[in-house]
Chains A and B, each alone.
Chain A
C-alpha cells in the first residue's frame, strides 16, 4: 500500500528564518508530485509539481522553492520566511498526469 508522509507536522518560525518541509511517498515508483498551500480561511493553491527526479515546475510565485532529490521525496524550502508564508502546506501524488491525487496529512506553519 502507498503511504505519504509529511514532516514536520507543525512548525513555528520567525520571519527571516529558513524553512524546509518534506514529503515522502512509499510504495509507488515515479509518481507525479505536487505542493499546495492554503492560507488560514483561504483557497488552496497549487505551488509546484514534479513529474520526475530533478525536474520541478513552479505554478505560483510565493518566494518559495521546491526540489525533488529522489524519486520518492519532495522538498519545499525558502531561505527567508515571510509572514505571508503562514498557512497549511499539503503534498500530493498521482500515478498519472490526469489521475486522482492523493494527499498527505499536511504541515501547519506559523510565521511570527
Chain B
C-alpha cells in the first residue's frame, strides 16, 4: 500500500528562522496536500499541490513528481506557526488519502 514518510518528526526553531519540512511517497503521485493541525486537533488546509510550486504568504510548497517528494517551506517563522504539519497523498483523488505521521513544529520567542 501507499506509504508517506515525513521528516523531521519534530523541529524547534527560534522565531524568525526558516523551516523546511519534507514528505516522501512510496507510490506514484497524483494528489498531494499539506495540512496544519492545531494543538486542539482541527485541521487547516494549506496546499493542494500535485505538482510544481505554490505560494501562500510565508509558505511555499514544492512537489516533484518524478522524485516522489514534496516540501513545505516556512519563512520567517512565528510562534503562531507552532503545531503539527501533515502531508497527505493519494494515487488519484481525495478518496483513499494517506497521511504521514506529521512534523511537530515548535517556534520559540
Interface residues of A (CB under 8 A from B): 32, 34, 38, 43-46, 49, 57, 59, 88, 90, 92, 94, 97-106, 108
Contacts and interface: CB of A to CB of B under 8 A. Distances in A.
B86 interface: yes
SS class, residues of chain A in contact with chain B? strand
Interface residues of B, number: 26
Contacts of B48: 98-100
Contacts of A59: 95-96
Interface string B52-64: 0000000000000
A38 B95 contact: no
B98 to A, nearest CB: 8
Interface of B: 30-31, 33, 35, 37, 40-45, 48, 50, 86, 88, 92-102
26 contacts: A34-B94, A34-B97, A38-B41, A43-B100, A43-B102, A44-B37, A44-B88, A46-B95, A46-B96, A46-B98, A49-B94, A59-B96, A88-B41, A90-B42, A90-B43, A97-B94, A97-B95, A100-B33, A101-B94, A101-B97, A102-B45, A103-B42, A104-B42, A105-B42, A106-B40, A106-B41
Given A34-B94, A99-B94, A100-B48, A45 B99 contact: yes
Contacts of A101: 33, 45, 94, 97
B94 A32 contact: yes
Nearest to B93: A97
